[in-house]
Amino acid sequence: MTSREQLPDAVLTSLASIGYLALLVAGLGFASLLTDSDVIETQGVGLIPAYVAAAVALVTFALLVRSTVARDRPSYVSVVPIAIGAALAHLATLALTAVIDSGDIGVAIGVVGEVLIGWVTPVIALTAAMAAWAAVAMRRTRADRPRWPWEDEE
């Protein structure tokens, strides 16, 4: 049985995306706790831009993972563009939604500078890389279901 028969692309992409969301929430939460700072501390930016940016990063991650796991033996190197793509999608969306939310381009520049220079963007990229690596590893595996020794005696 091949890996694609065991785990279809859509299921693998969904599993990796749920894992990415869990890692993203946990990573941002722990980093915020360890640094004793908010994820976004820029004044004038509400929660909606942050949530929308995270959602777009998640969708971008899912699309990039889907195209990667569609190959029979995807390369682990493909994890790098997935991580960079998720981080860039987050930054671009955060900038756009911060302008819409605050009405001030200076606030948007400030929030993008804050997350780019601080710990937020590395956490987003690292969690995307971890979840993408897991998806690639699951697609590349040649493992079969566990078997008892007597099952092979046919």
Q: What are the structure tokens assigned to 74, written together?
A: 């995807």
Q: What are the structure tokens assigned to 134, written together?
A: 């897991």
pLDDT at 2 over 60: no
pLDDT at 84 over 60: yes
- 153 lies in a domain? no
- 77 lies in a domain? yes
Q: What are the structure tokens assigned to 152, written together?
A: 């092979």
- 151 lies in a domain? no
- 124 lies in a domain? yes
pLDDT band at 148 (very low <50, low <70, confident <90, very high): confident
Mean pLDDT of all residues in 24-41 = 93
Are 21 and 81 a contacting pair, CB within 8 Å? no
Residues 6 or more apart whose CB falls under 8 angstroms from that of 147 comprise none
Q: How many domains does the chain have?
A: 1
User: Using one digit for the tens of pLDDT, what is the confidence trace for 3-24?
Assistant: 567 789 999 999 999 999 999 9
DSSP assignment of 6-71 equals: HS-HHHHHHHHHHHHHHHHHHHHHHHHHHHTS-S---TT--HHHHHHHHHHHHHHHHHHHHHHHTS
Residue 106's domain comprises 3-143
Sign of CA dihedral 137, 10, 24, 127: positive
- 154 lies in a domain? no
Q: What are the structure tokens assigned to 32, written together?
A: 């915020």
